Amino acid sequence: MVFTGGTISMRVVPGRGAVPASGGREILDAVPGLADIASVTFEDFDRLPGPHWTPSRMLDLARRLDDRLDGGEFAGAVVTHGTDTIEETAYLLDLVLRAEVPVVLTGAMKTADDPRWDGPANLRDSVAAVTRLAGEGGGVWVAMHGALYPARTVRKVHTDAFDAFTASAAAGAPRERIATDRLEERVDLVTAAVGADARFLRHAVATGAKGIVVEAMGRGNVPPAMLDGVREAAAAGIPVVVASRCAEGGTSPRYGYEGGGVTLAASGAVFAGDLTPPQARVKLMALLGSGADLAAVRAAFER
């Protein structure tokens, strides 16, 4: 079990709000019954709030898990994590982990000093999930509020409800692996909104972005004033990946009007399918970090 922080480790400090406070030992002491499920070894990796994670720290966690799980001593791993970014870390781990044992991420929606603290139940559920999945190969999941979600499809859909997570309909998608020891962090996320233009796309290019993800509308459409920015980025050899701001469904080139998916595809954009914009960014960082060229990036997303 690897403790990395998040609300599960926090307490409320008067005048400051909820802040990281507890390490693994303190949290485990508040979780009765774990010994009845499995033998648990724990370590403290960090005490990060969800928004404090960086791509490089996510990759550090992946390599740490691989190092610990490589020897066959453990049936799997449970990782505590802040729920704000648990989707991105879970998906990155699913892409890059070499270990062939289950890894379950979990957290809490309430702090440890709240009478409704859900951390202990989520930890017990996570350990039980690892023991149940052991022997079935690798893979990454998120366990929250009595449910287990595949990393590939998990979504946080509520800011503070206990049942804040769900999974999209594409739960049967096969696991994809990207062999890399590096992430290309200079991948920008640009959001399409009514009346948006090409300014932020051009800014991304001018400030050294190596990849761009567009959080597009619907099936993958943008206002017409954004189209030239996509064309210019693609012409400069920068991969542009189109994901959707919709909670369900995928992107594909369907509409032929200016700014529609057909014109984006003609400009050289790649479509992310059913990946969320943050997931598409994680995947593009991993692909570019692995040395993939534009053709390989396109093939990976179209697959």
Which is it for the CA torsion 27, 30, 34, 39, positive or negative? positive
Phi, psi angle pair for 228, to nearest 5°: -60, -35
DSSP code string of 96-151 = H----SEEEEE--SS-TTSTT--HHHHHHHHHHHHHHHTTS--EEEEEETTEEEET
Structure tokens belonging to residue 20: 């990281």
Q: Which residues contact 147 (CB under 8 A, 6 or more apart)?
A: 163, 165
| Residue from 280, 235, 278, 287 nearest 96 by CA | 287
CA distance 143 to 165: 9
User: Can 131 be counted among the known catalytic residues?
Assistant: no
Q: Which residues contact 163 (CB under 8 A, 6 or more apart)?
A: 144, 145, 147
Which contiguous run of DSSP H or E holds residue 19?
strand 17-20
Q: Are 2 and 42 in contact (CB under 8 A)?
A: yes
- Catalytic residue (one of 4, 7, 180, 263): 7
Exposure of 146 by Cβ count < 10 A (0-12 exposed, 13-18 middle, 19+ buried)?
Answer: exposed
Residue with tokens 């390989």: 296
Catalytic residues: 7
